[in-house]
Every structure is written in C-alpha cells, then in structure tokens.
Structure 1
Amino acid sequence: MKMIQTSLCILVVLTVSGFPMMESRVESKKGIEYMAMQCRKHKAVLTDFGAVGDGKTSNTKAFRDAIAKLTPQAADGGVQLIVPPGNWLTGSFNLTSHFTLFIQQGATILASQVESEYPMIPRLPSYGDARFASLIYGTNLTDVVITGNKGTINGQGKSWWLKYRSGGFNLISRPLLIEILYSENIQISDINLVDSPMWNIHPVYCKNVIIKNIKIDAPIDSPNTDGINPDSCTNTLIEDCSVTSGDDCIAVKSGIDQYGIATSIPTQQLSIRRLTCVSPDSAGIAIGSEMSGGIKDVRIEDVTLINTQSAIRIKTAIGRGGYVKDIFARRFTMKNMKYVFWITGSYKLHPIGFDPNALPEIRNINYRDMTADNVTISAKLEGIKKDPFTGICMSNVTMALSPTTKKLQWNCTDVAGVTSRVKPEPCSLLPSKGPAMDCHFPTDKIPIESVVLNKCTA
C-alpha cells in the first residue's frame, strides 16, 4: 500500500506541473547511472556512425547521421546517443525529440573553428540579429536531455573572440554552445562547458526547463561569454551551477525594443538557486537589458559571488518597453564587489532605432538576507525621469566597504522603495521602515521545482 501511495503522489505532482507521467525503466546494472526527466529504450554510441575521437577528424557527419538514423526510433520509448571518451571534433548539429545526448567523463565535444560548419539560421523574432547556428541546436522539440557524468563541450572560442575584437561579426551573432527554441521538457545537466564563442546555454521560447550541475568556464576577459540565458521562457529551474565568465553568469532576457514588444513572450516562473559566479566585469545575475517581452516572477536564492562586478543588475532603457516586476532575491554571500545593487534605466543599446515612447515598467524588486565584503559602491539605482522605478525593497543587508571605496555610496535617482537593517545607510529615496520589516520572498514553488527525476543508465 505504501508503494501504491508513493506512485500516486508522484503522478499527482507531475500532472499538476503540466508534465507527462515520467516512467522509471528497469535498466541493466551495467553502464553509468544518471538522473533524467525521461529514460530511453534505445541506445547507440557515436562510434557506431563512423566517428573518430582523435580531436582532428571532423565528426559533423557522424553526429548528424547518428541523430537522423535514431530519430525514427524516438517515438518508441526514446533514443540515447552516447559520446564515449575521446576528443570529438564537430560543427553544428540538430537534436530531435525524445532524445538524450550523454557525454561520458573523459569525452570532449570540440567545436569546429571553421565558420562554414555553422549555417546561417533565421533571425529570432524578438531580436534583429543575423546569426550562426549554435554548436548544438534544436527547435520545436519535446523531451530533450543533454547530460553526462562530467563530460565536456569545448567551444574553442579563441579564434571567434579574436575576430570579434578586430571588428568582425558586428552584425552577426557568433555561435552559441547550446540553443533550443520553441521546445518543452528540456534538461541540461552534469556537463562542463568551456570557451564558448559567445553565450553558453540559451533556451528561448521554451517551457519546462531544468538546467543543473553545470560548470561553465571562460576567460574573464572573453567577450559576451554569458553563462546561462533563459529567454522568453516559462517554468525554468537553474540550480547548482558554477560560472566563471567574461560576461554575466546568468542573463535573463525576453527580446529587444520593437522586436521584443511585438513578439511579447515574457520570461516568467524562473527559479535560480545555489549559483557560484566569478565575473569581474559583469553581473552574477543580469535582468535585461533585452527585456521588452517582459520578465516577472523570478526567485533567486543561495548565491555566492566572488570578484564579480555586481550582484543582480537590472538593465533597461527608454525604447525597451516591457516590464521587470516581482523579482525576489535572498541569501547572497559576496566578496570583492564593485557594486552590490545596480539598476539602470540608461542602457543605451539599440540595434535599429527605437520608440522613445516605449518606457519600461520596473517595480516590486525585493532583496533580503545578504552580506558583502570589500565593496567599492553599495548601490547605483538610476530610474528614468518621469518613469520612476518603484517598489524596491531591501532588508537585512550588510556591506563591508573596501579600502578604496567611493565617497558616494548610494547614487539614487528616480527610484522609490523602503529598507530595513541595511548598512551602510541607504539614500533618502529608500527610507527605513524599522527593524521589524522583511522584504517578501514567495513560499510557494514554481511547477518545475516539483518534478521528480528518474534513475537512468547510459
């Protein structure tokens, strides 16, 4: 009876969350165990399709052939492609539904540095940039898992960075490592990502996304190597990730200017927890500046930031439109920070003109239970004239200043809110409401947090 009750409880959780029932299959005791949203009936190894793991031979055809030949089996219990130890050089390849890409420990997928290996693909409707396909790409998919037991994807980004710095790619977005569009029930977990040419992980227009146990590394001076960028996505969980980057560790987005306004797909129901970040020139978590489709209901907790420019940076501008609202953050530990709080309404990046009447709405931004050491500037809070940012709340925040601290610790314009137990003392636009007040953090869960993963075997 206890077993029956447990099964019924799991079924109720998955049904309420909008997920299909996720069946645990009986696997062979041989192989590598891992946790996934779905296990697979059919398995193949990359070498079955002629791949050579010497780091020099192109395996683009092998990856593409493998997925093409496995796709017809996907509807019959799903398919799994195992990447064994070795160095597997490849250009861009597309995923399929009901599919797992498993990268074993000791295996490295090496991104080709040949531009022709990355076809040009359609512009995203909420942006305006021409772009290369990502290394691993998928669109209109259901039930996709990219995982491993600490295998690696190496973007070999140095040649792309050098060309970018010398003036190349001004109107073209460089390849990302992983981009998945218009898809649902996506899991990316337990792999290492190194030296992406540009952003590392970009789910866009997706639903029901889990990103966990990911380690991302890029030089701290590498251009635009954002770690994880959930973009116009609903019901996303990012947890237990470590990012060292030349740009934002996590950047929450929803399209830019008239493109994002017209597409109007928000990012919502996003949970970020247990993140470690190193990014001296950017933010631990950036919200925007591409936020024209709206961003709301974001919960961020248990974050460690080291040598990072700012904690949560909300970036917007006249012409963005959209909104950022209902943002909740708590339990941050920070060391060596230029800024702790940074909200700006003058992030002047506009690819093709903008509507000066499209003003963003920024409200109900909550921070609590934070400590920071060696801080240069406590806060820069810059709203927009005649469009103030409201509902900013800070409670139980202690910032220890650096020996080279700036004299003006709180630079506040066109903002409104309240504080409690915040040191150094905030600006007059954020008056204290006494020691009893705490900023809000939701007690409920977003649906993706209740999903139960299965024990599978590769």
Structure 2
Amino acid sequence: MDIIVVIASVVLLSATNVHGRKDLAEPASAGGTDFEAFNCRAQSGSIMDFGGVGDGKTSNTKAFQAAITKLGAAPGGGQLIIPAGKFLTSPFKLASHFTLYLQKDAVILAAPEEAEYPVVDALPSYGKGNGPGMGRFTPFISGSDLTDVVITGDNGTIDGQGQFWYDKDATLKAHRPHLIEIMNTKDILISKVTLANSPSYHFHPVYSSNVIVRGITILANLTTKNTDGIIPDSTTNMLIEDSYIASGEDCVSLKSGMDDFGVKFAKPTSQIAIRRLTCITPTSSLISIGSEMSGGVSDVRAEDNTVINSESGIRIKTNPGRGGHVKDIHVRKITMDTMKWAFFMTGEFASQPNKNPPAATPPVIEGINLMDMTAKNVSTAGQLGGIKGHPFNGICMSNITIEMAKAPPPAPPAWNCSDVAGTSSTVTPPICPPLAAKGPPACKFPTDKLPIETVKLQKCPVQVSAKASGPSASPVGKAPSPSP
C-alpha cells in the first residue's frame, strides 16, 4: 500500500480513536521549546554548526559523525538538534548521555547505498541471520553499551528509505538493515518522532533495560514483511504507550533469541507494559510473542489497545524444539475490528533454517490471561494449537465478545483448538471444549506497577532556531540528579 494511504488511515484513526486521545501525529508543542528526558544535557548544538545541509541530496555523514563525537563527549552530556530540512546521511552510532532532537519538519534520510551498510555479526542469541549463510546489514542508527540515550523532538521524521532495499530483496547477500537498533544499553527514551519506511524492524532494543517508547508514529509499507514496529528482544523493564503503528509485520513483537543459541544465552524479555496503541497490520498482529522466544518471555501487561485491519490480535508462535517459555501474559481491554483471527497460538510454527540442531527441550507456554475484549468482523475467533504431549496450559479467557464476519453456509467453526487447556467465563461465541471449563469471573491482571512505570522524567529545554547554539555554547540545562 502506498505510504499516502497509510498516512490517511492514521489520520482517520486519530479522529475516531476509541480512547479519545489527541492525534499523536501532531507536533508536541507549537515552539518545541522543551521535552522529557531521563536527564537534561549541559551542551547543545545544531547539525548546521557541523556543516549540515538539509537539501535532501548532500551527504551529511561527516557532519553527523563530527557532531556526535563532539557532543557525545561533552561533560554533562550533549544534545544534537536537527532543524527543518532533509538531512541525508549514511549509518551513524549514538553516544551515552546523548539526545537526538528533531524539530518540526526535520527529516533524517537514510542513504540508499548498500555499500554504506557493512554486514555485521549475528546477535549471539541467534547465532546467525534468518537464513543459511546470511548475515545482516548494520542498522541505520545504532548504539551499544550505552547509558541514557534519547531520541525525541517536535514530530520530526527518521526515514529509512526502505523501498531501495525492498527492490533489491532477491539479490541481497544479507538481511535488510533495521532503522534503529540499540544494544546492551540502560535508559532509552524514544518519543514524539515519526519512524518511517524502515528497510526492516523500526525500533529494536536488544539486551537492554529501562526503555520508554511514548507518543511516536510508525509508518511502513503495509505489504512488506519484516517491517515490524517495536521489537523488545531479550530486553527488560520497558514501557510502550500512546503511539500509532502501521506496519507490514507485527506492531509489537516480543523476542528473546532462537533455539540452542537463545537457550544458551538465557536472557529473557520480561516486565513489558504495552498500552494505548493503535495498530494497523493486514498480514500480522497487534502483539506477537515469538517465534524466537528461546530465552523466555514473561510478565507482559497489555491494555487499552486498538487494532484494525489485522491478521490477528494476539499471537503466540513457537515450535517443539525451540525451548524457552512464555509465561504470565496479561492482556485486557483490546478493541479489534476486521480480523482473520482474534487469537492465534501455535506450537507448530515452521522452524527457520539453522546449522546447529534446535534445542531439545519443548517450550513451556502457560499463564495466558485474555480479558475484557471486543471484536467485530472476525473470520475465526481463535486458532489455538499447542504441542502434542506438551499442551499450552493455564489459558484464561473472560468477558470477550466477538462478532463473526458473515460467511456463506456452511459457516466455519468459530474456534479451532487442540493441545490447549484452561478456563473461561462469558465468552461469545461459545468457546471450544478444551477451554470451556468454568473459570473465575475475571482472569488475572497485575495490580502493581513495573519499575519503568514509576520513572519521573526531567523537563529539558531545546533551542528552536535553525542555527541553534554551537558545541561550545554555555549550558542549556542540567538535571539535578538521575531519575530513580
């Protein structure tokens, strides 16, 4: 689907959003004079101070490298301001105690040149690329072993120019690059920006903790696979909220490594809160867990989300040799409209090619709580299949109403279930026998808060002129102390 159609869909959703939120695609403020961050920065500079040219044609690679090197080393931290304009650049790396701020109408364009994206090693929890002998291209924006990284602004855009990569898919020798990938990092905030046209994943935090995604827009080609929105991967204590995602793959996808690599690396994804999202994904799901979940996924809390025109609402994927676990998943207050499946769970998801044998231990799937949901125009209420001899246990469904799409007779079954076990209450249409045992009036949803939900951010200033202050300017603001 053309990106113009995607934008139109997002505008329409904002006008009819069931949560009554202001359109998050609008500028955060008229002047863009302050923003939230873990800590404010002592030094501030514009990309223009480092030779930036915002004509959409001139390379700004050297300007970004110089600016991040200078401001990233500034005592008290530094912030780089991107003014209105289109700034073309090759991939670049972020720094600790660093803020990348995009003003209104600012666009960072990813250079469409394969030679600028070297092939990098596979992540240790995967051990390879997603196909035989294939690696992965370096991400457009990346960082590793950092502390306190912020990408924010007045709804500026980071554009991956993914069509260049989609057109070359059949000839690529490695997997398409991610737009933003931050690894082994503590305290990450992405807010009030638009991420668009990523060659692959849009935001991929991996082996990281204390991550906040708030008030962003993600726009992708709706027919291109692997353009997932937000992918917490072996990452803990993360809050995702108040955002729009239109994607050709899952809007939020939770992962933790694959097969023997993920089992051995043993770094789970846990303590994840997902709330007040609006999602469009014709071929995938609002929230997907797996299939790469060999390090484990647990303590996921999702509520007050809307998904429209999607293949499925909630999806869990694994296979008999994958190992790991999916436990303590809590989802409530989801509104679904036009779905193939409201719920999709499978223990027979096709394994990806792997030179090493898969983990011998079957995965453990248990404690899946789904409640207080409505759906309409749904082809199949649930496609739920566990693993023979190792069923998915402890599935609880309560207060769920699904309106089935009209179909010519004979009508297909609303539910298809095998190798699953659990309880239910007040589910329409009547649920399948393996889940028909009477359960409590409501399934479980935690009442405590995750640590990331209690973090108090600082209000930090930013200059709004195109030139902004130089790298040797006087301090523009400093937080009294790190956030708890």
TM-score, length-scaled by structure 1: 0.90
Do the aligned residues in 1 keep the contact of 2:71 with 2:77 (CA within 8 Å)?
no
Pick from 427, 437, 452: which aligns with 2:456?
Answer: 452
| 1:350-394 deviations in Å (ceiling 9; x for gaps) | 231533623110000000000001110000101000111100000
Report the counterpart of residue 64 of structure 2 in structure 1.
63
Q: Distance in 2 between matches of 1:281 and 1:92?
A: 29
Report the counterpart of residue 215 of structure 1 in structure 2.
217
| 1:138-171 deviations in Å (ceiling 9; x for gaps) | 000001101111000111101211211xx233x6
Of 344-353 and 38-47, the range deviating more from structure 2: 344-353
1:72 shift after superposition = 2.3
Matched, 1:388 2:387: no
The gaps in structure 1 that reach 5 residues or longer are 1-29
Report the counterpart of residue 150 of structure 1 in structure 2.
155
1:56 shift after superposition = 0.4
Q: Distance in 2 between matches of 1:142 and 1:451?
A: 15
The gaps in structure 2 that reach 5 residues or longer are 1-30, 130-134, 463-484
Report the counterpart of residue 10 of structure 1 in structure 2.
none
Report the counterpart of residue 441 of structure 1 in structure 2.
445
Report the counterpart of residue 144 of structure 2 in structure 1.
139
Q: Distance in 2 between matches of 1:199 and 1:71?
A: 25
2:434 partner SS: coil
Q: Distance in 2 between matches of 1:178 and 1:152?
A: 13
2:452 partner SS: helix
Do the aligned residues in 2 keep the contact of 1:161 with 1:223 (CA within 8 Å)?
no
| 1:244-290 deviations in Å (ceiling 9; x for gaps) | 01100010000111111111100011100111100011011100111
1:318 partner SS: coil
1:279 partner SS: strand
Overall identity of the aligned pairs, in %: 52
RMSD between superposed Cα atoms in Å: 1.3
Q: Which amino acid aligns with 1:33?
A: D
Report the counterpart of residue 307 of structure 1 in structure 2.
309
Do the aligned residues in 1 keep the contact of 2:397 with 2:443 (CA within 8 Å)?
yes
1:134 shift after superposition = 0.9
Pick from 314, 336, 346: which aligns with 1:344?
Answer: 346
2:433 partner SS: coil
Q: Distance in 1 between matches of 2:243 and 2:447?
A: 23
Q: Distance in 1 between matches of 2:171 and 2:433?
A: 46
| 1:195-245 deviations in Å (ceiling 9; x for gaps) | 100000000000100011110011210121000000001100001111001
Q: Distance in 2 between matches of 1:399 and 1:444?
A: 29
Q: Distance in 1 between matches of 2:174 and 2:259?
A: 18
Matched, 1:93 2:97: no
Do the aligned residues in 2 keep the contact of 1:203 with 1:229 (CA within 8 Å)?
yes
Report the counterpart of residue 23 of structure 1 in structure 2.
none
1:429 partner SS: helix
Do the aligned residues in 2 keep the contact of 1:187 with 1:209 (CA within 8 Å)?
yes
Q: Which amino acid aligns with 1:422?
A: V
Report the counterpart of residue 257 of structure 1 in structure 2.
259
1:36 shift after superposition = 1.4
Q: Which amino acid aligns with 1:444?
A: D
Report the counterpart of residue 199 of structure 1 in structure 2.
201
Report the counterpart of residue 426 of structure 1 in structure 2.
431
After TM superposition, list the pairs within 5 Å mapping 1:111-150 onto structure 2. 111-127=110-126, 128-129=128-129, 130-150=135-155
Q: Distance in 2 between matches of 1:337 and 1:105?
A: 35
Q: Which amino acid aligns with 1:345?
A: G
Matched, 1:412 2:411: no
Matched, 1:295 2:297: yes
Report the counterpart of residue 403 of structure 1 in structure 2.
406
Count of residue pairs the alignment pairs up: 423
Stretches (4+) displaced over 4 A? none
Pick from 234, 238, 247: which aligns with 1:245?
Answer: 247
1:282 partner SS: strand
1:122 shift after superposition = 2.3
Q: Distance in 1 between matches of 2:92 and 2:359?
A: 40
Do the aligned residues in 1 keep the contact of 2:422 with 2:437 (CA within 8 Å)?
no
Q: Which amino acid aligns with 1:423?
A: T
Report the counterpart of residue 22 of structure 1 in structure 2.
none
Q: Which amino acid aligns with 2:415?
A: W
Do the aligned residues in 2 keep the contact of 1:257 with 1:350 (CA within 8 Å)?
no
Q: Distance in 1 between matches of 2:138 and 2:51?
A: 24
Report the counterpart of residue 230 of structure 2 in structure 1.
228
Q: Which has the higher contact order (CA 8 A, sep 6+)?
A: 2
2:201 partner SS: coil
Matched, 1:355 2:358: yes
Report the counterpart of residue 319 of structure 1 in structure 2.
321
Q: Distance in 2 between matches of 1:59 and 1:144?
A: 21
Matched, 1:47 2:43: no
Report the counterpart of residue 72 of structure 1 in structure 2.
73
Q: Distance in 2 between matches of 1:357 and 1:31?
A: 54
Report the counterpart of residue 84 of structure 1 in structure 2.
83
Q: Distance in 1 between matches of 2:227 and 2:380?
A: 25
